[in-house]
Amino acid sequence: MLSETLDRLRAGLAGTPYEGKVYLVGGYVRDKLLGRPLPNDIDLVLEGDALALAQFLYEQGIADHHPVTYPRFGTAVVHIGDTLVELVTARAESYHDASRKPQQVRPATLREDALRRDFTVNTLLENLHTGAIVDPLGVGLADLQAKILRTPRDPHETFYEDPLRMLRAVRFAVQLGFTIDPAAYHAILEQAERLAIVSIERIQNEFTRLMDSPQAAAGLQMLLDTRLLHQFGEPLLPMVGCTQNAYHLYDVWGHSLKTVEYVDAHGLELPAWELRLAALLHDVGKPATRTVDAHGEVHFYEHDRVGTQIAAAWLRHLRYSNATTERVAKLVKLHMRPGFYKPEWTDSAVRRLIRDAGELLEPLLRLAEADIKAQRCDVPHADLAALRARIQHVQSAGSPQKWRSPLTGEQIMARFGLKPSPLVGQVKTYLEEQVIEGNLAPDDVERAWQLAERFLEEVRGSTR
């Protein structure tokens, strides 16, 4: 626990030259003063050699491993228990125009170190041993109380040196409920295009942290307004101003933000930010598929299929993991299915939905509920409460594990002399469909062979 880590640090450094000279800085101090949940990682700063301090912590058995050091930047990283601890030499920096990484670094005072940081509310210090709060710039506490995000220096300089700070400004604004200082906001508008020098991995990390916030929808609109979204979210931009049919009050962008706002991610194994990504992207295929018929009706035929492709490509561009990309793309692909529910659905149709959604069934239902809530309330929609009841009824009658083909792909290949190919999968899918429809018992291997043989004869006959 964090408290145990701090106790170990205080005890280990008591009576040494470091006592009273090491300070907590950054998010820990800010969030503690705001009464927010504390992070499980901390930053320590001192006017001295942070690498030597890290080595001392290791040699004294306080740190759990030999420090990972970054001599050029005067920083080191260790773990103490479950807590990640970054130790920083108070420093001043200079930057090259084409990079957010410091070109030159030199030791400096605590005040100079504060000047290089992103926002004044992140410059506040807490003495590790005395607990005294130090405001090196004299404005950090006032800005924290006023809930203002202000840069320590001219915002043009702060953002020019590290353009990622512009994304952080938006994230902090929505996470903390702060207002971005007008001068800083204007600087973001002027320098948004400079975000291009930041690696896509860094952008993705900040974007993910924004999407993890319950106020993500407000952050997304701020990203659009500041044109930061234009630098990495180009596939999303066609949604802005794309008008819809009579079911909707908003354009595709506005509807998507409402869906992000309404989607309930509580209690799911799926990370909240992944579900919000799916909510953001569920209609991303609409602009490319928008048509207007002879009666003036707007349609988006196959927008789920096109949207799945767009979503997957964008998530890969942002370097999201294959697992995240596959889950979000699957939710985009299936997002319309629950909304088609009618009482006339057969149990086999419900079983098919359960099978296709798999472990994403509950997230899919949550997405569909938010999607409907973000539409007009005075038009008819599917009764998702009734669908949930049907799902529970079908699941109570038998496990989805029993809806599989009685035959494996290996058995099918061996019996019919087939090589690995899409045809083998087609046979398995056909048999699985027969089980779901109730035409084949999941343990009836003999009839499965008969159906498989008949299916292959039909396929081969159609290709002659």
pLDDT digits (tens, 9 = 90+) for 131-184: 999 999 999 999 999 999 999 999 999 999 999 999 999 999 999 999 999 999
pLDDT digits (tens, 9 = 90+) for 333-349: 999 999 999 999 998 89
Over residues 247-276, mean pLDDT:
96
Specify the pLDDT at position 103. Answer: 55
Find the range with the poorest average confidence among 46-55, 385-394, 453-462: 453-462
The model carries a pTM of: 0.87
pLDDT digits (tens, 9 = 90+) for 370-412: 999 999 887 888 899 999 999 999 888 766 667 778 888 899 8
On the question of pLDDT at 102 being above 60, the answer is: no
Specify the pLDDT at position 452. Answer: 85
**Confidence class of residue 101 from pLDDT cuts 50, 70 and 90?**
low
**Confidence class of residue 97 from pLDDT cuts 50, 70 and 90?**
low
**Confidence class of residue 94 from pLDDT cuts 50, 70 and 90?**
low
SS3 readout for the chain: CHHHHHHHHHHHHCCCCCCCCEEEECHHHHHHHHCCCCCCEEEEEECCCHHHHHHHHHHCCCCCCCCEEECCCCEEEEEECCEEEEEEECEEEEECCCCCCEEEEEECCHHHHHHCCCCHHHCCEEECCCCCEECCCCCHHHHHHHCEECCCCCHHHHHHHCCHHHHHHHHHHHHHCCEECHHHHHHHHHHHHHHHHCCHHHHHHHHHHHHCCCCHHHHHHHHHHCCCHHHHCHHHHHHCCCCCCCCCCCCHHHHHHHHHHHCCCCCCCCCHHHHHHHHHHCCCCHHHHEEECCCCCEEECCHHHHHHHHHHHHHHHCCCCHHHHHHHHHHHHHCCCHHHCCCCCCHHHHHHHHHHHHHHHHHHHHHHHHHHHCCCCCCCCCCHHHHHHHHHHHHHHCCHHHHCCCCCHHHHHHHHCCCCCHHHHHHHHHHHHHHHHCCCCCCCHHHHHHHHHHHHHHHHHHCC
